[in-house]
Amino acid sequence: MTTPSDRPDRAAWLSERRHTGRVATCGTVELYVGDLAMRARVVDLSARGVRVRIATDQVAPSVRSRVRLVLRLDGASVCHRLSGHIARIERRATTHELIVKLCR
């Protein structure tokens, strides 16, 4: 039998924005938004999206912009070509993190 302290905190679970598990990973990605091209670092991956980090001196695309990605994971010789749209931008002091929702 479980006690109330053994059960997960429902409020904490409901506030979680992620709907699928994410895997922390290392690699680079080239983002193409129309004629704009930029390089970024991969933060993590999920079944539905990828989180990338760009420097603040790069021009961040707007939310809902369509993007093409060329993903190269560290230690792998294969590059993956993906497409999706910017779902969210988290602005920080020195970097911006872009959450890209992938198309199926």
Q: How far apart are CA 102 and CA 81, in angstroms?
A: 11
Give the model's pLDDT for residue 15.
45
Give the model's pLDDT for residue 66.
95
Q: What are phi and psi of 36, to 5 degrees?
A: -85, 130
Q: Look over the chain and give the mean of its residue pLDDT values, rounded to a whole number.
A: 83
Q: How far apart are CA 24 and CA 32, in angstroms?
A: 23
Q: How far apart are CA 8 and CA 86, in angstroms?
A: 31
Closest CA to 44 of 82, 16, 84, 71: 71
Average pLDDT over residues 51-79: 91
Which pTM does this prediction carry? 0.74
